[in-house]
Amino acid sequence: MASSTKTPEMRKDTVFNRWVIFSPARARRPSDFKSKSPANPNNSNKSCPFCIGHEHECAPEIFRISSNTCDSDWKIRVIENLFPALSRDDELIQKSNFNPNPNPGFLTCISGFGFHDVVIENPVHSVLLSDQSDSDVGDVLLAYKKRVLQLMLNESIKYVQVFKNHGASAGASMSHSHSQIMGLPIVPPTVSIRLDSMKRCFEETGKCSLCQVQCEELLINESKHFVSVVPFAASFLFEIWIVPRNHTSHFHELDDDKAVDLGGILKLMLLKLSLQLNDPPFNFMIHTSPFMVESSQLPYSHWFLQIVPQLSGVGGFEIGSGCYINPVFPEDAAKVLRDVNV
Protein backbone atom coordinates (compact mmCIF):
# COMPACT_ATOMS: atom_id res chain seq x y z
CA MET A 1 0.00 0.00 0.00
CA ALA A 2 1.42 3.41 -0.91
CA SER A 3 2.04 5.87 1.89
CA SER A 4 -0.36 8.35 0.31
CA THR A 5 -3.32 6.02 0.98
CA LYS A 6 -2.40 5.29 4.58
CA THR A 7 -3.71 7.05 7.64
CA PRO A 8 -1.38 8.37 10.36
CA GLU A 9 -0.07 5.86 12.86
CA MET A 10 1.99 5.98 16.05
CA ARG A 11 4.60 3.29 16.70
CA LYS A 12 6.72 2.65 19.78
CA ASP A 13 10.47 2.29 19.29
CA THR A 14 11.30 -0.36 21.90
CA VAL A 15 15.05 0.15 21.48
CA PHE A 16 15.29 3.91 22.06
CA ASN A 17 12.04 4.07 24.05
CA ARG A 18 10.31 6.78 22.05
CA TRP A 19 7.16 7.22 20.02
CA VAL A 20 7.20 7.96 16.30
CA ILE A 21 4.29 9.45 14.37
CA PHE A 22 4.01 8.23 10.78
CA SER A 23 2.12 10.94 8.92
CA PRO A 24 2.39 10.34 5.16
CA ALA A 25 2.93 13.37 2.96
CA ARG A 26 -0.02 13.02 0.59
CA ALA A 27 1.65 14.96 -2.23
CA ARG A 28 4.78 12.83 -2.37
CA ARG A 29 5.53 9.19 -2.98
CA PRO A 30 8.28 7.54 -0.90
CA SER A 31 10.47 7.31 -3.99
CA ASP A 32 10.22 11.06 -4.55
CA PHE A 33 12.26 12.05 -1.50
CA LYS A 34 15.67 13.41 -2.47
CA SER A 35 18.31 15.45 -0.73
CA LYS A 36 17.93 19.15 -1.53
CA SER A 37 21.56 19.78 -0.58
CA PRO A 38 23.77 16.87 -1.71
CA ALA A 39 26.82 16.32 0.45
CA ASN A 40 29.34 16.67 -2.42
CA PRO A 41 32.11 16.74 0.19
CA ASN A 42 35.14 16.18 -2.02
CA ASN A 43 35.15 19.28 -4.21
CA SER A 44 38.60 20.48 -3.17
CA ASN A 45 41.74 19.02 -1.69
CA LYS A 46 43.67 22.27 -1.42
CA SER A 47 45.70 22.27 1.79
CA CYS A 48 43.79 19.30 3.20
CA PRO A 49 45.74 18.04 6.24
CA PHE A 50 44.20 14.56 5.91
CA CYS A 51 45.72 14.00 2.45
CA ILE A 52 48.92 12.08 1.87
CA GLY A 53 51.95 14.33 2.23
CA HIS A 54 50.27 16.61 4.77
CA GLU A 55 50.64 14.33 7.79
CA HIS A 56 52.76 16.93 9.60
CA GLU A 57 49.82 19.34 9.62
CA CYS A 58 47.68 17.01 11.71
CA ALA A 59 47.42 16.47 15.44
CA PRO A 60 49.59 13.62 16.81
CA GLU A 61 49.13 10.20 15.26
CA ILE A 62 47.93 7.38 17.51
CA PHE A 63 48.50 4.56 15.03
CA ARG A 64 48.32 3.80 11.33
CA ILE A 65 47.40 0.83 9.16
CA SER A 66 50.09 0.28 6.56
CA SER A 67 49.37 0.23 2.85
CA ASN A 68 50.34 -2.56 0.49
CA THR A 69 50.63 -0.16 -2.46
CA CYS A 70 53.58 1.94 -3.49
CA ASP A 71 51.46 5.11 -3.67
CA SER A 72 51.31 5.57 0.07
CA ASP A 73 52.92 4.15 3.18
CA TRP A 74 49.56 4.19 4.98
CA LYS A 75 45.94 3.36 4.18
CA ILE A 76 44.30 4.39 7.47
CA ARG A 77 45.49 6.79 10.14
CA VAL A 78 44.01 7.29 13.60
CA ILE A 79 45.00 10.66 15.03
CA GLU A 80 44.07 12.94 17.89
CA ASN A 81 41.42 15.52 17.06
CA LEU A 82 43.04 18.93 16.61
CA PHE A 83 40.00 20.54 18.27
CA PRO A 84 38.86 17.91 20.78
CA ALA A 85 35.62 18.16 22.69
CA LEU A 86 37.33 16.51 25.69
CA SER A 87 40.84 16.68 27.11
CA ARG A 88 43.06 13.61 27.47
CA ASP A 89 44.98 15.32 30.29
CA ASP A 90 45.13 12.74 33.11
CA GLU A 91 45.34 15.50 35.70
CA LEU A 92 41.72 16.38 35.00
CA ILE A 93 40.65 13.06 36.56
CA GLN A 94 42.12 14.09 39.89
CA LYS A 95 40.50 17.53 39.74
CA SER A 96 37.02 16.16 39.20
CA ASN A 97 34.40 16.93 41.83
CA PHE A 98 31.94 14.42 40.43
CA ASN A 99 29.46 12.95 42.88
CA PRO A 100 27.89 9.86 41.29
CA ASN A 101 24.84 10.09 43.55
CA PRO A 102 24.14 13.82 43.90
CA ASN A 103 21.44 15.02 46.28
CA PRO A 104 18.32 16.43 44.62
CA GLY A 105 18.71 20.09 43.81
CA PHE A 106 22.48 19.97 43.45
CA LEU A 107 24.19 20.52 40.12
CA THR A 108 26.42 17.70 38.94
CA CYS A 109 29.74 18.40 37.28
CA ILE A 110 32.76 16.34 36.33
CA SER A 111 36.01 17.25 34.64
CA GLY A 112 36.13 17.23 30.85
CA PHE A 113 38.49 14.26 30.69
CA GLY A 114 38.15 11.93 27.73
CA PHE A 115 39.40 11.10 24.26
CA HIS A 116 38.38 12.53 20.91
CA ASP A 117 40.06 10.93 17.90
CA VAL A 118 39.78 11.04 14.12
CA VAL A 119 39.98 8.05 11.78
CA ILE A 120 41.25 9.11 8.33
CA GLU A 121 39.73 6.37 6.21
CA ASN A 122 42.11 6.59 3.24
CA PRO A 123 44.95 8.83 2.00
CA VAL A 124 43.18 10.02 -1.19
CA HIS A 125 40.92 13.06 -0.89
CA SER A 126 38.38 12.07 -3.53
CA VAL A 127 37.76 8.52 -2.24
CA LEU A 128 34.61 8.03 -0.18
CA LEU A 129 34.05 5.12 2.18
CA SER A 130 31.49 3.74 -0.28
CA ASP A 131 34.11 3.82 -3.06
CA GLN A 132 36.35 1.35 -1.24
CA SER A 133 36.26 -2.44 -1.42
CA ASP A 134 34.46 -4.57 1.15
CA SER A 135 37.78 -5.55 2.72
CA ASP A 136 39.02 -1.95 2.82
CA VAL A 137 35.85 -0.82 4.58
CA GLY A 138 36.36 -3.81 6.88
CA ASP A 139 39.85 -2.51 7.68
CA VAL A 140 38.34 0.83 8.72
CA LEU A 141 35.97 -1.05 11.04
CA LEU A 142 38.90 -2.99 12.47
CA ALA A 143 40.73 0.29 13.06
CA TYR A 144 37.70 1.38 15.12
CA LYS A 145 37.92 -1.87 17.04
CA LYS A 146 41.63 -1.46 17.73
CA ARG A 147 41.14 2.04 19.10
CA VAL A 148 38.14 0.96 21.20
CA LEU A 149 40.25 -1.80 22.77
CA GLN A 150 43.00 0.72 23.52
CA LEU A 151 40.52 3.05 25.23
CA MET A 152 39.11 0.13 27.15
CA LEU A 153 42.44 -0.10 29.01
CA ASN A 154 41.80 3.29 30.63
CA GLU A 155 39.69 2.59 33.69
CA SER A 156 38.21 6.10 33.62
CA ILE A 157 36.55 5.50 30.23
CA LYS A 158 33.08 3.98 30.53
CA TYR A 159 31.75 4.22 27.00
CA VAL A 160 33.09 4.76 23.47
CA GLN A 161 31.04 6.33 20.69
CA VAL A 162 32.10 5.70 17.10
CA PHE A 163 30.43 7.93 14.51
CA LYS A 164 30.77 9.38 11.03
CA ASN A 165 29.48 12.71 9.73
CA HIS A 166 29.27 12.98 5.94
CA GLY A 167 28.55 16.43 4.50
CA ALA A 168 28.58 19.86 6.11
CA SER A 169 24.92 19.80 7.14
CA ALA A 170 25.57 16.46 8.89
CA GLY A 171 28.33 18.05 10.96
CA ALA A 172 31.45 17.28 8.90
CA SER A 173 33.98 20.10 9.14
CA MET A 174 36.49 18.37 6.82
CA SER A 175 35.61 17.11 3.34
CA HIS A 176 38.22 14.31 3.32
CA SER A 177 36.43 11.08 4.27
CA HIS A 178 36.88 10.42 7.97
CA SER A 179 35.07 9.28 11.07
CA GLN A 180 35.46 9.98 14.78
CA ILE A 181 35.78 8.15 18.09
CA MET A 182 35.04 9.60 21.53
CA GLY A 183 35.93 7.90 24.80
CA LEU A 184 33.68 9.18 27.59
CA PRO A 185 34.05 9.05 31.39
CA ILE A 186 30.30 8.47 31.73
CA VAL A 187 27.64 6.26 30.18
CA PRO A 188 25.51 8.71 28.13
CA PRO A 189 21.80 8.97 28.99
CA THR A 190 20.72 7.71 25.57
CA VAL A 191 22.75 4.52 26.12
CA SER A 192 21.18 3.97 29.55
CA ILE A 193 17.71 4.60 28.13
CA ARG A 194 18.41 2.15 25.31
CA LEU A 195 19.52 -0.59 27.70
CA ASP A 196 16.59 0.01 30.05
CA SER A 197 14.13 -0.08 27.15
CA MET A 198 15.60 -3.30 25.77
CA LYS A 199 15.50 -4.78 29.27
CA ARG A 200 11.76 -4.09 29.54
CA CYS A 201 11.16 -5.71 26.16
CA PHE A 202 13.20 -8.75 27.23
CA GLU A 203 11.27 -9.07 30.49
CA GLU A 204 7.94 -8.89 28.64
CA THR A 205 8.77 -11.21 25.74
CA GLY A 206 11.79 -13.23 26.85
CA LYS A 207 13.54 -12.18 23.64
CA CYS A 208 16.12 -9.59 22.62
CA SER A 209 14.37 -6.87 20.65
CA LEU A 210 17.17 -6.69 18.07
CA CYS A 211 17.32 -10.45 17.57
CA GLN A 212 13.72 -10.10 16.41
CA VAL A 213 14.30 -7.08 14.18
CA GLN A 214 14.31 -8.99 10.87
CA CYS A 215 10.98 -8.83 9.05
CA GLU A 216 10.40 -9.45 5.36
CA GLU A 217 8.65 -6.09 4.83
CA LEU A 218 11.40 -4.17 6.64
CA LEU A 219 14.39 -6.07 5.27
CA ILE A 220 16.65 -4.30 2.76
CA ASN A 221 19.49 -6.77 2.44
CA GLU A 222 21.20 -9.58 4.31
CA SER A 223 24.65 -11.11 4.42
CA LYS A 224 26.24 -14.05 6.19
CA HIS A 225 26.55 -12.26 9.52
CA PHE A 226 24.34 -9.14 9.25
CA VAL A 227 20.92 -7.87 8.21
CA SER A 228 20.06 -4.36 7.12
CA VAL A 229 16.56 -3.10 7.86
CA VAL A 230 14.47 0.00 8.14
CA PRO A 231 13.41 -0.18 11.80
CA PHE A 232 9.72 -0.73 12.58
CA ALA A 233 9.49 2.68 14.28
CA ALA A 234 12.12 4.59 12.28
CA SER A 235 12.52 8.09 13.70
CA PHE A 236 14.12 9.44 10.53
CA LEU A 237 13.40 9.33 6.81
CA PHE A 238 15.10 6.27 5.25
CA GLU A 239 16.90 5.41 8.49
CA ILE A 240 18.77 2.09 8.31
CA TRP A 241 19.97 -0.30 11.01
CA ILE A 242 22.63 -2.91 10.31
CA VAL A 243 22.29 -5.61 12.96
CA PRO A 244 24.48 -8.67 13.70
CA ARG A 245 22.54 -11.89 13.14
CA ASN A 246 24.12 -13.51 16.19
CA HIS A 247 23.44 -11.93 19.56
CA THR A 248 26.48 -9.95 20.68
CA SER A 249 26.72 -7.02 23.08
CA HIS A 250 29.93 -5.24 22.07
CA PHE A 251 31.14 -3.94 18.74
CA HIS A 252 34.74 -4.68 19.74
CA GLU A 253 33.93 -8.42 19.60
CA LEU A 254 33.94 -8.07 15.78
CA ASP A 255 36.41 -10.49 14.15
CA ASP A 256 38.19 -10.17 10.79
CA ASP A 257 35.67 -12.23 8.81
CA LYS A 258 32.69 -10.34 10.18
CA ALA A 259 34.46 -7.01 9.60
CA VAL A 260 34.70 -7.72 5.86
CA ASP A 261 31.07 -8.87 5.82
CA LEU A 262 29.95 -5.75 7.66
CA GLY A 263 32.12 -3.64 5.34
CA GLY A 264 30.28 -5.07 2.36
CA ILE A 265 26.76 -4.46 3.64
CA LEU A 266 27.66 -0.99 4.99
CA LYS A 267 29.11 -0.03 1.59
CA LEU A 268 25.98 -1.35 -0.13
CA MET A 269 23.66 0.67 2.12
CA LEU A 270 25.64 3.87 1.58
CA LEU A 271 25.54 3.35 -2.18
CA LYS A 272 21.79 2.72 -2.13
CA LEU A 273 21.17 5.87 -0.10
CA SER A 274 23.40 7.92 -2.41
CA LEU A 275 21.72 6.67 -5.59
CA GLN A 276 18.16 6.92 -4.30
CA LEU A 277 18.39 10.14 -2.30
CA ASN A 278 20.80 12.24 -4.40
CA ASP A 279 23.95 11.77 -2.27
CA PRO A 280 22.45 13.03 0.99
CA PRO A 281 24.50 14.17 3.97
CA PHE A 282 24.33 11.43 6.58
CA ASN A 283 25.49 10.29 9.98
CA PHE A 284 26.22 6.78 11.12
CA MET A 285 26.68 5.71 14.70
CA ILE A 286 27.74 2.44 16.28
CA HIS A 287 25.51 1.67 19.26
CA THR A 288 27.41 -0.69 21.51
CA SER A 289 27.28 -1.55 25.22
CA PRO A 290 29.23 0.12 28.03
CA PHE A 291 32.53 -1.56 28.91
CA MET A 292 31.29 -2.52 32.38
CA VAL A 293 27.95 -3.95 31.32
CA GLU A 294 26.66 -6.39 33.92
CA SER A 295 26.32 -10.06 33.05
CA SER A 296 22.57 -9.82 33.68
CA GLN A 297 22.35 -7.24 30.87
CA LEU A 298 24.03 -9.39 28.24
CA PRO A 299 20.90 -11.33 27.14
CA TYR A 300 19.20 -8.16 25.90
CA SER A 301 22.10 -5.84 24.98
CA HIS A 302 22.82 -6.15 21.26
CA TRP A 303 25.03 -3.74 19.28
CA PHE A 304 24.10 -2.33 15.89
CA LEU A 305 25.04 0.37 13.38
CA GLN A 306 22.53 3.13 12.61
CA ILE A 307 22.61 5.23 9.42
CA VAL A 308 20.59 8.47 9.34
CA PRO A 309 20.34 10.44 6.06
CA GLN A 310 19.88 14.16 6.72
CA LEU A 311 16.76 14.86 4.68
CA SER A 312 14.80 17.01 7.11
CA GLY A 313 15.55 18.97 10.23
CA VAL A 314 14.35 18.35 13.75
CA GLY A 315 11.66 20.86 14.70
CA GLY A 316 10.11 22.22 17.86
CA PHE A 317 7.69 19.34 18.25
CA GLU A 318 10.48 16.77 18.26
CA ILE A 319 12.65 18.81 20.62
CA GLY A 320 9.78 19.57 22.97
CA SER A 321 8.07 16.18 23.03
CA GLY A 322 10.81 13.65 22.35
CA CYS A 323 8.51 12.18 19.70
CA TYR A 324 9.45 12.18 16.03
CA ILE A 325 7.39 12.64 12.88
CA ASN A 326 8.28 10.55 9.83
CA PRO A 327 6.35 11.06 6.56
CA VAL A 328 7.31 7.65 5.12
CA PHE A 329 6.24 4.32 6.57
CA PRO A 330 9.23 1.99 7.17
CA GLU A 331 7.78 -0.73 4.94
CA ASP A 332 7.63 1.72 2.03
CA ALA A 333 11.16 3.03 2.66
CA ALA A 334 12.51 -0.52 2.82
CA LYS A 335 10.87 -1.43 -0.49
CA VAL A 336 12.30 1.66 -2.18
CA LEU A 337 15.81 0.82 -0.94
CA ARG A 338 15.48 -2.88 -1.83
CA ASP A 339 14.64 -1.87 -5.39
CA VAL A 340 17.72 0.33 -5.84
CA ASN A 341 20.12 -1.45 -8.18
CA VAL A 342 23.79 -1.00 -7.28
| Tens-digit pLDDT profile for residues 224-279 | 999 999 999 999 999 999 999 999 999 999 999 999 999 999 999 999 999 999 99
Name the binding residues for Zn(2+).
48, 51, 125, 176
> 7 in a domain, yes or no?
no
Strands, sheet with 219-222, edge to edge from the N-terminal-most edge strand: 61-65, 76-80, 115-120, 178-184, 159-166, 282-287, 304-309, 240-244, 226-229, 219-222
Burial 2-19 (b: 16+ CB within 10 A, else e): ebeeeeeeebebbbbbbe
Cα(170)–Cα(205) distance, integer angstroms: 36
Cα(330)–Cα(229) distance, integer angstroms: 9
| 317 CB neighbour count, 10 Å cutoff | 12
> 38 in a domain, yes or no?
no
> 37 in a domain, yes or no?
no
> 213 in a domain, yes or no?
yes
Q: Which domain holds residue 180?
A: 12-26+46-93+110-339
> 299 in a domain, yes or no?
yes
pLDDT in tens, 10-43: 999 999 999 999 988 655 777 778 777 776 655 5
- Angle ∠(55,58,60) on CA atoms, nearest 5: 100
Report CA dihedral (94, 100, 105, 106) to the nearest 10 degrees: 0
* Number of domains making up the chain: 1
> 105 in a domain, yes or no?
no
Sorting pLDDT into bands at 50, 70 and 90, what band is 125?
Answer: very high
Specify whether the CB–CB gap between 19 and 323 falls below 8 A: yes
pLDDT at 320: 93
> 255 in a domain, yes or no?
yes
Residue partners of 87: CB distance under 8 A and separation at least 6: 112, 113, 114
178 is catalytic: yes
Indicate which residue of 54, 56, 116, 178 is catalytic: 178
CATH code: domain of residue 201: 3.30.428.10
Q: Write the CA distances from 156 to 106, 112, 114, 317, integer angstroms.
A: 23, 12, 8, 37
> 99 in a domain, yes or no?
no
